[in-house]
Copies of this chain bind each other. A is one copy, B any other.
């Protein structure tokens, strides 16, 4: 049994002590020969390029950010689950459907764990997936356009945290609930949680050609909290592993009440067995209501469809499909080494790491050596599946990745450090402090069969004095370690945007050559596209006015519009005629209750403007597009609601 509250408070105090000590080691003016060589290691000179892409989750920004390594420079913020005024995502008519859910329009989410698509367990760089925690969703982002192409809501989930992780051939993106809830939802006393709530683990199939997602099945598990997960790989391909906490099934003050059991579980799921079961007609179709939102690259438009059914599976009905591996101290990280043999459970209130053996697990299952069951699911004996214990000397282990050279790297939140250790011998090889309170870490490819073990990025949760202060609210912070030598070497600090939790990295050479530069105008199938300035026009349909507008350096066609009336709903459909790389045009009109539009070459986007007052109102290009950008403007005349003025439009007349 854990020692409850006092232990917990003690751990927090220890953390505070370590973080305040850490600072003293790093004073101003410590530069010298070492810093000079580190400077060269992280410096990417003008005209040169970084070696790796790092994709970092935005956490509470809801988005995904793209960094270069080793420079730590942020190249892009990709809007995913949150409205993004910069480009009009979630404001434009084309992208508003992306944020539709069964709860209506939801302009935000909490994005945690990006994972890059794989083929044979190696990064293939086609897509990156990320989870929305709060209103459970999974998004798929193209790594050709670096835009969000698809979002699927996850029903019966509530805190979509043990997500979004990819199986070895991207057969599935897996999404597990963090909070258990009544399934189906029901008005019931919260205190009846225990034994009545369920945790849904969703296996979402990914179409191999287009990447389209579809919920294949949901496993309705006992009412624990499901924290993180990873696929088996190599010999353990076909299995998926989830850490659990709150196996106590407490419904209040979890800080104390979910830290009572000495061991929680790692749930081992034989998804191939379940896939076979459902392919043979197993499972129960359950009424559901969840959004499936797809952005069409030809119409540049998203559509949202409500799905009405989901296939659920009772794990106790499929012998041999699900087992529990006892794992100490409320484990958080659940990581599988490149060989697929070792499953590392990081008990977040522990000093040691627990490493389970896949081979031993299979042997124990085959030998039916169970230690009872939980809600009908067999519990394996801890000793029977244990491969080894890493006596870390640290406190609060969270997440482990691998360098492909037989080494593992684990973050420790409470003792603020990264510990490097050896797979198989479990010996600690090196440890380096982090500033401060590190959460997850990332090695490019470090959770695949083929890691690129040159750098470790630590994602820290407390920034404090690392940078010039910016008032009470600070950016989060990452630290970059060179792991190309025998030991880890801290070489750089860089701030991170939003609250990055987790990251996925990939060598630049796997993505850069196929990065798309423009949208081809000839392939633009947007129903309101203006494919040539000669097609620009204004059309009235009752109180709706559709402006088919074209942009090219440096004018809008048309740029003088009359005949709009107060009470009209004016749709500006803007098509950018440019076909050169990096020549966007923007569009804004005074008083619009939405954002501007940033329209890339060949693209069409739409905003609605509802003029409230008569007058002559300007619009203009918001992107500094040419030497005559400031001249790229126009006017709309708005007449009274009862005016008889006919629509007219012109350019240069």
Contacts and interface: CB of A to CB of B under 8 A. Distances in A.
Contact of A499 (B104, B159, B623, B638): B623
A474 to B, nearest CB: 6
Contacts of A348: 627, 630
Nearest to A588: B134
A193 to B, nearest CB: 8
Contact of A612 (B31, B104, B633): B104
Given A479-B46, A635-B190, A60 B596 contact: yes
12 contacts: A39-B43, A59-B624, A60-B86, A83-B107, A106-B593, A135-B591, A159-B618, A178-B620, A189-B562, A252-B651, A461-B624, A468-B512
Given A75-B470, A258-B631, A492 B46 contact: yes
B473 A627 contact: no
A44 to B, nearest CB: 8
Contacts of A35: 40, 43, 45
A403 B260 CA distance: 64
A66 interface: yes
Contacts of A617: 158, 181
Contact of A475 (B53, B75, B396, B583): B75
A516 interface: yes
Q: Sort chain A's interface into a size bin.
A: 35 or more
A119 interface: no
Interface string A117-147: 0000000000000000111100000101111
A116 interface: no
Given A85-B83, A562-B190, A652 B256 contact: yes
Contacts of A107: 83, 85, 91, 593-595
A522 interface: no
A48 B36 contact: no
Given A39-B40, A68-B468, A639 B255 contact: no
Given A38-B45, A159-B618, A182-B615, 13 more contacts: A27-B47, A42-B43, A44-B493, A46-B490, A58-B86, A75-B474, A76-B473, A134-B620, A145-B471, A159-B590, A252-B560, A461-B623, A472-B519
A616 interface: yes
B190 A135 contact: no
A116 B82 CA distance: 31
Contacts of A499: 86, 622-624
| Top 7 A-B residue pairs of the complex, sorted by shortest distance between their CB atoms | A26-B47, A185-B615, A103-B591, A39-B43, A253-B652, A146-B471, A469-B515
A254 interface: yes
Given A560-B251, A612-B104, A634-B252, A60 B623 contact: yes
A626 interface: yes
Interface stretch (A167-175, A278-286, A312-320, A551-559): A551-559
Interface string A206-246: 00000000000000000001010000000000000000011
Interface stretch (A7-15, A355-363, A381-389): A7-15
A413 interface: yes
A473 B512 CA distance: 14
How many copies of this chain are found per oligomer?
2
A72 B491 CA distance: 16
Q: Which of A35, A245, A519, A651 has the most CB of B within 10 A?
A: A35
A581 interface: yes
Given A43-B39, A159-B590, A474-B76, A631 B259 contact: yes
Contact of A30 (B45, B259, B553, B559): B45
A275 interface: no
Contact of A435 (B46, B101, B255): B46
A332 interface: yes
A538 interface: no
A439 interface: yes
A414 interface: yes
Interface string A585-614: 010111111111010110100000000111
B47 A28 contact: yes
Interface in A138-169: 142, 144-147, 158-159, 161
Contact of A46 (B8, B26, B191, B637): B26
Q: Which of A181, A435, A590, A603 has the most CB of B within 10 A?
A: A590
A582 interface: yes
A140 to B, nearest CB: 14
A637 B600 CA distance: 46
A462 interface: yes
A608 to B, nearest CB: 13
A632 to B, nearest CB: 7
A61 interface: yes
B501 A624 contact: yes
B512 A106 contact: no
A53 B627 contact: no
Contact of A622 (B59, B186, B559, B626): B59
Contacts of A251: 560, 635
A517 interface: yes
Nearest to A110: B622
A606 to B, nearest CB: 15
A45 B74 contact: no
A339 interface: no
A298 B294 CA distance: 45
A356 B628 CA distance: 24
B182 A593 contact: no
Q: Which of A62, A461, A462, A624 has the most CB of B within 10 A?
A: A624
A620 B508 CA distance: 36
Nearest to A65: B497
